[in-house]
Chain A
């Protein structure tokens, strides 16, 4: 590991994982933390508990803002453990000189998103720091959710599962990139930033046999699939043709040399469901606007355990690796 922190260590990929395991896990080590799930399951399996900090730049972007993101992000992590978000905290660090009207705009979009999740902020903290000590505004939210279905875990993916994606991939990462200062793209691209509770609530109420769920944030779909393959000791074989990617995202990837499956999402998740329920799950997801492009993308095998393989439409294959290095600036 490097002597000083480098940006690549916040990329959600290999360097990020190394930093977490060599510094935080080393000292904080305990059974719950080591499960390495989106949210910790506590209180004998009754509650899900998680936290996330938001530093996205720009703070207002096409399809959302840092406020909406700060609720979606934390709630979605709870939802991915099969929990319904309930109580949340909100801690804000704001830079001297920040417009109050912008702050109120951000808080308003937080409230709107809380309503979608049926959750509420029950305590908080506000810090104002001198100009330059933070970039405009950073937000931390912590959330508690009540587990509706237990046993959802990224350690249990097996060959009896089929892998699905809930929507087109890479939109958030591509949007933030296109919105950055200095990138003069004009496109209809919007972040997929959205709360996933309504989609998951429906899947659960329809009795879909879900093995694992994870929202594909930093590191994208590739990071989720690689973690699952490693944690569950299986090989995930992705059919490249079936990965839903919008023309806009593909265009940005072509120009900048990215892969859509490495780009961040904030309202798109990967699911492992029992194969017999796969089609049903796709149909349920497609009933939502946010799940319109849901698709089956991969099968689980034992061909290369711990790895993700991408199958090309012309019969060749390659590994779909974890992103390494510095991919994008702050995206969440």
Chain B
């Protein structure tokens, strides 16, 4: 009996012959372009794919990538990291979060530093791991510092759902979930007329597929319809990204601006309705959420609905959480990079004062940040 191997899920999407074929198709299509096309890959996962697999090197110079703000770890402002740090300092408390979040520097250091000084900070692979930790530590409060876009929000909602249904008394939430379409809108709307030249304008978006697995492709409809900007919802393997670029250039040459799905193997227009209902039940939008490098973005963050305030660490620990506004590092140009005005190498501290091991700005923090990807893989054009 033959069974499906894990490698069957990705081998075909890294097939050198297929990648080279797309390279030829794109080159042929790009010959018809009479100017540079700026494609924003919104998600850090795509930035990572483009850099790791060296895809930019395979493309004609008329295709330019703008690396978007879609890395949930990178965009976490110092104010929120300081919240996590302050929580970790409370007694009888275990702070849980996801992966790279423990590395993000706040005003007093990162969660990694807090842990080195004795705080109980742990990273989990699934929010559901909190259940076991809570059971093993009945005398402690477990706070899940929830981060991520639409992709990880349902997992936080599902955890809260279990906590309520089982009557678990020692799991609480600090919610930092953000949403993708709102920040995409902000990127377009915040442009002044004078910078909205051919050099800097976003001509097309590559939409993150995992977000759309949850929310459907429908969340991007506004961009082709209202702004006339094509969106192709793409997967994260090199073949996926190459195909998405091909689809975008074709749209461009044919004078279309459509919403298309490249990642047809999992994304539908409607998305995962059950997950959407779960999110809707537990979460509501906050008016403003501050993004590192981008500033306040309207309607881009989520919080627990008031009826679940009992589980909300931001409410319970209001007295100990800091609320001062903190500016981004003066030398850091992450904001300009995220808006497509600058590339990582143009930053004066790139690779010198700012490195993955000691990041000053948001884009250097997670492996999905544009600066971290440039630093790690180089840009060997």
Contact = CB atoms under 8 A, between A and B. Distances in A.
Interface string A289-332: 00000000000000000010100111111110100111000000
A247 B5 contact: yes
Given A15-B357, A319-B380, A6 B51 contact: no
B116 A314 contact: no
A199 interface: no
B295 interface: no
A8 B111 CA distance: 13
Contacts, number: 82
Bin chain B's interface residue count: 35 or more
Given A182-B129, A247-B5, A317-B57, A7 B112 contact: yes
A309 B380 contact: yes
B378 A319 contact: yes
Given A4-B113, A247-B5, A326-B112, A314 B19 contact: yes
B113 A2 contact: yes
A319 B53 CA distance: 11
User: For A8, A254, A318, A319, which residue has the most chain B Cβ atoms within 10 angstroms?
Assistant: A318
A250 to B, nearest CB: 6
A188 interface: no
B7 interface: yes
Contacts of B238: 314
Nearest to B103: A325
Interface in A14-36: 14-15, 18
A295 B129 CA distance: 40
Contacts of B10: 254
A314 B356 CA distance: 28
Given A6-B113, A324-B357, A318 B51 contact: yes
Interface string A200-235: 000000000000000000000000000000000000
Contact of B377 (A313, A315, A318): A318
A251 interface: yes
SS of A interface (majority): loop
Interface string B337-381: 000000000000000000111000000000100000001111010
A316 B53 contact: yes
A326 B111 CA distance: 12
Interface string B1-28: 0000111001000001001100100000
B54 A324 contact: no
B7 A314 contact: no
A257 interface: yes
A5 interface: yes
A307 B380 CA distance: 12
A15 B376 CA distance: 15
Contacts of A7: 112, 115-116
Interface in B49-64: 51-55, 57-58
B378 to A, nearest CB: 4
B330 interface: no
Contact of B357 (A8, A256, A257): A8
Contacts of B115: 6-7
B117 interface: yes
Nearest to A259: B52
A321 B377 contact: yes
B1 to A, nearest CB: 17
B7 A318 contact: no
A319 B6 contact: no
B6 A315 contact: no
B380 A317 contact: yes
30 contacts: A2-B109, A4-B117, A5-B116, A6-B112, A6-B115, A7-B116, A8-B357, A18-B357, A183-B125, A251-B7, A254-B6, A254-B10, A257-B367, A309-B380, A312-B16, A313-B16, A314-B23, A315-B20, A315-B57, A316-B53, A316-B57, A317-B57, A318-B377, A319-B377, A319-B380, A321-B377, A324-B355, A324-B356, A325-B357, A326-B103
6 nearest CB pairs, A to B:
A316-B54, A318-B377, A313-B16, A251-B6, A319-B378, A4-B116
